[in-house]
Amino acid sequence: MQSVNKKILLVDDDVDLLEQSKVQIENKGYSVVTAESSSEGWEKFKSEKPDAAVIDLMMEEHDSGFVLSYKIKKDSYGKSIPVIVVTSAAYITGYKFDVSTGEEREWIKCDEILNKPVVIDELVQRLESYFAEKAT
């Protein structure tokens, strides 16, 4: 199983959702570190050196998740880990963000965007595929 000893940074300002997601991801065999804001997420990223980051888009500001993802992807360590941004923006605004092209990933600075509500099995499957790619 790929998830053994993998640490996931989970950042979301919705504390209930954060705790629920943490338990579900830990049940899949991962270690999970949580943060309730983008600034706390940045501090945890630097101190914990996670194997992946899952970040809510809208926290303190409408683009807090993108700002944090950008900072992580500009970091020498962060360049090597998958960063997934999760958002309910499509549900609220009807606008769907996409990072299916290299140009979009370069501009947005994340590896994937998932719409909320996130299905944990789908999230874990995405993480597993990133870890499998990195292992080869």
| Domain map (residue ranges) of the chain | 7-130
Paired with 9 in beta bridges are: 33, 53
Paired with 7 in beta bridges are: 31
- Residues 109, 22, 26, 132, Cα dihedral to 10°: -10
pLDDT at residue 25 is higher than 60: yes
Q: Which contacts of 14-22 are long-range, i.e. CB under 8 A and separated by 24 or more positions?
A: 14/56, 21/54, 21/118, 21/120
Q: What is the pLDDT of residue 4?
A: 65
The two structure tokens encoding residue 67: 């700002």
Q: Is 105 exposed, middle or buried (0-12, 13-18, 19+ CB in 10 A)?
A: middle
pLDDT at residue 1 is higher than 50: no
Q: What is the pLDDT of residue 96?
A: 55
**CATH T-level fold of 7-130:** Rossmann fold (3.40.50)
Residue 116's pLDDT band, with cuts at 50, 70 and 90, is confident
